[in-house]
Each structure stands twice: as C-alpha cells, then as structure tokens.
Amino acid sequence: MNGYAWLGLAIVAEVIATTALKASDSFSRLGPSVITTVGYGLAFWCLSHSMKTVPVGVGYAIWSGVGIVLITAIAWVLFKQRLDAPALLGMGLILAGVLVINIFSRSAGR
C-alpha cells in the first residue's frame, strides 16, 4: 500500500481515538476507553508503515494538520464546541500549509 494511504488510515484512526478519548471521561467508561487505546495503537502502527516512504517531517505535518482540523470539526458537531473567527482563520492556515506542502514542495517525496 502507498505511504500516503497508510498516513490517511493513521489519521482516521487517530481522529476516532481522540474523539473516543473525550467520551471516555478520563478512562472511566470502558467502551470509549477501549476504542481510544486500540485506535491510538492502530494509528501509530499505520503511521510507522507510512514512514517507510513518506518523509518524517512531511508526514508529521500532514498528520498533525489534518488531525487538528478534523478533530475540531468533530468537536463542533458532536460536542457543540464554538469556533470563533481566529480559530477558523488558524485552521484555514493549517490547511493551507498542508496543501502547500503537498502541491508545491519537493520534500513530499512523490
């Protein structure tokens, strides 16, 4: 499988795990706690496979940037987190950075 596909799976697993972490109530609820633990394990396993071909700096920038934006979107929908203009602007800049890396940088290793 392509390194970027592994990275995508790692991001999805991490987002699921982080969402479950909120629901685990400090690991006091069994179901969400298990999802959190398995999700983070799966996320790092997939991330390790992506690092075989994706440069570590680029991979981590994509992992963290996309993860931040997805988790914030989920928090907005599921947990009714409010987003003000500076938060939206900041996330837009994060997405712009990820896009610049992927579209214009030779460091992306493709």
pLDDT score recorded for residue 109: 60
Categorize the per-residue pLDDT at 110 as very low, low, confident or very high, splitting at 50, 70 and 90. Answer: low
For residue 108, the model assigns a pLDDT of: 60
Sequence letter at residue 68? I
The crossing angle, in degrees rounded to 10, of helices 56-78 and 30-50 is 150
Its pTM stands at 0.86
Encode pLDDT of 31-87 as tens digits: 999 999 999 999 999 999 999 999 988 898 899 999 999 999 999 999 999 999 999
End-to-end Cα, the chain, rounded Å: 14
Q: Which residue carries 């700096």 as its tokens?
A: 57
Give the residue carrying structure tokens 């996309």: 66
